[in-house]
Amino acid sequence: MANLGEKAEIVNASELALKIGADTYILLTNLQIHVGRTEARDVTTDGGPVYSYGAGDNWFTATLLMTDPEVKVFNTKTQIDANGAMPSTDWLVVGTNVSGATVTWAATGVLRDYDITKAPEGKVSVDIFVRITGDTVTTS
């Protein structure tokens, strides 16, 4: 199962940003992380259940505040290749607390979909769903 690590600082962060690529940081809000496994329940001959577990069923959702250059980067993340596969991306959520210390939550996954919303005044927000394809999630 994905290991969120010993640190809980991501929960206490006062500011969150998503890092993709070498230096693309995007302000992030409404972060939801799901860490789980598929479960199969089989009944034995004596009637008792036996549970078995599969690969990770992990994902995260978030709302991002973006400008046009970041939206163009996201468009490339949803294009399938000739085999129908989505491009795998390293996703880093960087949390900064009120003292300025940072903690990074990292996972590998695909941007399954996103929705763009333009408010009447000001910001463009993008709601994303990222399927975590690796079986390891780290916090450092």
Express each pLDDT in 15-37 by its tens digit.
888 887 666 778 888 889 888 88
Asked if residue 1 is part of any domain, the answer here is no
The C-alpha torsion from 30 through 35 and 37 to 39, rounded to 10°, is -60
- Cα(52)–Cα(41) distance, rounded to whole angstroms? 7
Does 7 have pLDDT greater than 70? no
What local confidence, expressed as pLDDT, does residue 23 receive?
Answer: 65
Asked if residue 4 is part of any domain, the answer here is no
* Domain residue limits at 94: 9-139
The domain that holds 110 is classified in CATH as 2.30.110.20
Express each pLDDT in 65-91 by its tens digit.
887 777 777 777 888 888 988 888 888
What local confidence, expressed as pLDDT, does residue 129 receive?
Answer: 94
What local confidence, expressed as pLDDT, does residue 127 receive?
Answer: 92
How many domains would you assign to the chain? 1
**CA geometry: angle 123, 68, 76, nearest 5 deg:** 125
Asked if residue 96 is part of any domain, the answer here is yes
Asked if residue 45 is part of any domain, the answer here is yes
What single-letter amino acid sits at 119? A
- Cα(28)–Cα(130) distance, rounded to whole angstroms? 14
